[in-house]
């Protein structure tokens, strides 16, 4: 078990007291006090490694299954012996322009909190340090951990949304730049950005209902004084969802504008091709007539017939060029 246990500590009066080796004894000791709880953090445990935790904490089999498979939407489940919250932390690499999501499960029960993390995004280290530096919040028990984890994940959503907005502004500027730079933007690039926005949306939108439920009354294992904290989380999450909606709308508008610009460019190209074709058609037609080898043709036996014909071709092409240029076909 030691390789999957990120941290384990017993807290009392809002302060860390010890790092127990035996979970059963530590949990029994935490339950013997009114202001103590055990916090265990795990990283991608296997079914065998998680079995002991399941027996000691009395976790529901369905919640255990969700924690092991880690392909869940954000949700809040209420069981007889615990609350089960699923969060999806998001990491955004601005240089590589890639967005990755992990999964974070939080069990809260009688004098214990258990966190199970999957993926690379890891907000728990900073959460634990933050809580241990603020005993007044930590006095609220396991609910304080659930609040701090949720708050950290949602606050990071705000950072990711801001980074996406910056990249979206650059994409928008490239789309509406001068024609010389339009080739740098492709529909695939816009669709890739839209896919990242959709993945971000899947992490933020479903979390609205669980956070809203945590702000209300009637949930077991939730300290009544912690509801105000969850309201703050709900407010931040609302801001995130508004930004996600804004990003999605802007992407749709940018894609429409890009496709419209591509249509205009194709029309311009077709006009240029048509203009050049018309200019080449005139000398081709004249040359074709004189290539018929008839005996009686205008200026056929005239000394200046050949230069005059060439000059006529050039003159007609120049006239056509000036007409097309005046109409902005070139």
pLDDT value at 15 more than 60: yes
DSSP-assigned states of every residue in 60-73:
-HHHHHHHHH----
> Measured on CA atoms in the order 101, 107, 112, 118, is the torsion positive or negative?
negative
- Quick check: helix, strand or coil at residue 122? coil
Q: Using pLDDT thresholds of 50, 70 and 90, give the confidence band for residue 230.
A: very high
pLDDT of residue 180: 43
Give the pLDDT confidence of 129-140 residue by residue, as tens digits: 888 898 888 888
Q: Which range has the top average pLDDT, 115-124, 205-214, 296-305?
A: 205-214
- pLDDT tens per residue, range 163-181: 998 988 888 887 777 554 4
Among the listed residues 312, 309, 307, 285, the one whose alpha carbon sits nearest the alpha carbon of residue 298: 309
What is the bridge-based pairing of β-strands 103-109 and 15-18?
Answer: unpaired
- Number of C-beta neighbours around residue 76 at 10 A: 19
CB atoms within 10 A of CB 310: 13
User: Can you tell me the distance from the alpha carbon of 26 to that of 113, in angstroms, rounded to the nearest whole number?
Assistant: 12
pLDDT band at 26 (very low <50, low <70, confident <90, very high): confident
- For 141, the enclosing helix (H) or strand (E) is none
What pLDDT is recorded for position 227? Answer: 85
Domains plus CATH for the chain?
A: 5-261 (3.30.460.20), 265-326 (1.20.58.340)
pLDDT of residue 235: 95
Mean pLDDT of the region 32-46: 88
Angle at 144 between CA 140 and CA 146, to 5 degrees: 145
Q: Say whether pLDDT at 148 is over 60.
A: yes
* Residue 79 pLDDT level (bands cut at 50, 70, 90): very high
pLDDT tens for 294-327 read: 666 666 667 676 777 788 788 888 887 887 777 7
Using CA of residue 316, residue 321, residue 326, residue 327, what is the dihedral sign? Answer: positive
pLDDT of residue 2: 45
Task: Please give the mean pLDDT across all residues of the chain.
Answer: 84
SS3 1: coil
Residues 262, 263, 267, 268, CA torsion sign: negative
d(CA 196, CA 39): 34
């Amino acid at each position: 078990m030691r390789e999957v246990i990120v941290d384990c500590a017993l807290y009392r009066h809002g302060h860390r007291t010890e790092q127990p080796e035996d979970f059963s004894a530590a949990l029994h000791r935490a339950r013997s006090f009114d202001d103590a709880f055990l916090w265990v953090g795990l990283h991608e445990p296997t079914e065998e490694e998680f079995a002991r935790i399941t027996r000691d904490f009395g976790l529901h089999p369905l919640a255990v299954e969700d924690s092991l498979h880690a392909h869940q939407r954000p949700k809040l489940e209420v069981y007889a012996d615990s609350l089960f919250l699923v969060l999806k932390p998001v990491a955004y690499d601005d240089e590589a322009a890639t967005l990755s999501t992990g999964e974070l499960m939080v069990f809260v029960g009688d004098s214990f909190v258990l966190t199970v993390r999957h993926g690379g995004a890891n907000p728990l280290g900073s959460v634990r340090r933050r809580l241990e530096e603020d005993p007044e919040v930590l006095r609220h028990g396991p609910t304080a951990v659930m609040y701090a984890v949720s708050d950290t994940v949602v606050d990071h959503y705000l950072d990711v949304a801001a980074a996406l907005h910056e990249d979206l502004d650059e994409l928008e500027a490239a789309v509406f730049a001068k024609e010389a730079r339009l080739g740098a933007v492709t529909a695939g690039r816009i669709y890739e950005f839209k896919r990242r926005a959709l993945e971000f949306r899947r992490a933020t939108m479903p979390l609205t209902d669980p956070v809203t439920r945590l702000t209300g009354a009637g949930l077991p294992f939730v300290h009544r004084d912690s509801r105000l904290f969850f309201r703050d989380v709900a407010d931040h999450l609302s801001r995130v969802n508004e930004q996600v909606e804004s990003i999605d709308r802007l992407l749709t508008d940018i894609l429409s504008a890009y496709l419209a610009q591509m249509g205009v460019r194709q029309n311009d190209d077709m006009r240029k091709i048509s203009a050049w074709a018309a200019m080449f058609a005139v000398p081709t037609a004249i040359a074709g007539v004189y290539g018929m080898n008839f005996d009686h043709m205008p200026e056929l036996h005239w000394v200046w017939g050949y230069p005059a014909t060439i000059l006529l071709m050039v003159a007609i092409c120049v006239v056509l060029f000036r007409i097309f240029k005046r109409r902005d076909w070139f």
